[in-house]
Amino acid sequence: MIYLVGSGPGDPGLFTVKGVRCMEQADAVVYDRLAPEALLAYAKPGAEMIYVGKKPGDDQAMKQDEINRVLVELGRENKTAVRLKGGDPYIFGRGGEEALELIEAGIPFEVVPGVTSGVAAPAYAGIPVTHRNISTSVAFITGHEDPTKGRSDVDWKGIAHGADTLVLYMGVGRLREISAELMDAGRDPETPVAVVRWGTLPEQRTVTGTLVDIAERVEEAKLKPPAITVVGGVVGLRESGLGWYEKRPLFGRRVVVTRARVQAGELSAELEGLGAEVREFPTIEVRPPEDFGPLDGAILSLDSFDWLVFTSVNGVDAFLERLRHHGLDLRAIPRDAKVAAIGPATAGTLERVGLRVDVVPEEFRAEALIEAVAGQSLAGKQVLIPRAKVAREVLPDKLREAGAEVVVPPAYETVPTAEGKDQLARDLEAGLIDCVTFTASSTVDNFVGAFGAEEAARLLAGSRVVCIGPITAGTARGHGLRIDAEARKYTIPGLIEAVVDLFAADPTRKAR
């Protein structure tokens, strides 16, 4: 089976549920240049990835007949394949040609429609393609026809008044000629026009004008393909407050997340929801400890502990996983044992699995946790702290000073990683990164370790640096890094708030 799947206009969130299901069962994925690469993650492990992108003016691009041949060969090999196409397969996507080729070869296929950029890009730019009392009809037109034909198949005279709204695909290169054709055919030269580049993506840019001046405005803005052009009165609605996407507080900002990849999801998703383009540069990788012996020993004697203290979500996850490994669950924890968590994220993880948390400090750092726990009587108490193999010793030391017997088994360890280091260095060097975030001292240490202290400081000089709290910021300053903002609350939401506030105070934007 060959699935002809529309990948949508660019925002991965606009991909269809059925498209995901097709990707999950595909043996091979044949994908276009404009298909979001993030969607490839839906493919099952081991699926063959075949890039067939075509770029205007690229002599090395795979020709359509070659793409057809690839699909037929996959079908004849009895494979399930997804042909992942930008937008919708049947709207200027040549999906019909591919389907006919499959029919001729006797290979079964299905079509999974996608959200087309001709509707989505205007919507993200604040332009509904139809609107009562302004536009009751819309026409989709290709602005890029086969140059070998020697003539145009578009009836510009009929189109000029054939629909209230005209949506042009791939027409930026011929915008001056198309505008002239429409005006010659009788369309009012003052008709509003908008050109939306990279619609639905953080790089989205919109230029507006009229038929008489839009080509000049687009040239002045140096707007290049891919872009959608909208002609008609609905363009004026953009100025009525409908341009929601480009008004988001972090729109157009590129923000680097340095957390471990398994942890980055929440922070990345929140930043993207506020309009940022997120670059994940995991500086640490979370791994099981080399030796589970100390943790296993503590778990098998859980009934001897009076306190369980958790200093991170990773520690909670590792502890619970090891409980399950031994065939145990939360019932193994003594009923009268008390539980402390360093902050709301850690506490929330515990409470979601049904473990009540007794102590959460107002400030989410080890020093505040010490004060909160020290308010209890600790003399002779047994305290278990499952945590990272390498961590600050201030917490166990202070608890021991208060008279507690403290066991600190490694529940996990973090190791440096520098995946994507060279690309990030180039982007920082070119001034393409607006902000780099650090969520722990280890992320700072490993970032500096990847580049060297002097080079890290130099690369970060042109970007903003935001830290989750004073401990992380202190580590950064110790390496000679400049800090632009610290979170007032030492949490991921607090970090996000700090990033938003930083750019709200200085709203200037870099040209992209």
Active-site residue list: 32, 54, 170
Distance, in Å, from the CA atom of 43 to the CA atom of 25, rounded to the nearest integer, reads 7
Distance, in Å, from the CA atom of 117 to the CA atom of 5, rounded to the nearest integer, reads 15
Distance, in Å, from the CA atom of 70 to the CA atom of 88, rounded to the nearest integer, reads 20
Q: Which residue has the tokens 């988001």?
A: 248
Q: Tell me whether residue 26 is exposed, middle or buried, using C-beta atoms within 10 angstroms of its C-beta: 0 to 12, 13 to 18, 19 or more.
A: buried
Q: In 60-180, where do the E strands start and end?
A: 81-85, 109-112, 138-142, 165-169
User: Is 280 within 8 Å of 268 (Cβ atoms)?
Assistant: yes
Q: Which residue has the tokens 């999906």?
A: 95
For residues 339-356, b (16+ Cβ closer than 10 Å) or e, as one string? Answer: bbbbbbbbbebbeeeebe
Nearest partner of 14 among 40, 42, 36, judged by Cα = 36
User: Is 188 within 8 Å of 163 (Cβ atoms)?
Assistant: no
> Hey, which residues does 174 pair with through a beta bridge?
none
Q: In 126-261, where do the E strands start and end?
A: 138-142, 165-169, 192-197, 205-210, 227-231, 254-257
Q: How far apart are the first and last CA of the chain?
A: 41
Tokens for 511?
């040209």
Q: What is the CA angle 294-298-302, rounded to 5?
A: 175
What SS3 class is residue 72? helix
Q: What is the CA angle 491-494-497, rounded to 5?
A: 155
Distance, in Å, from the CA atom of 467 to the CA atom of 457, rounded to the nearest integer, reads 15
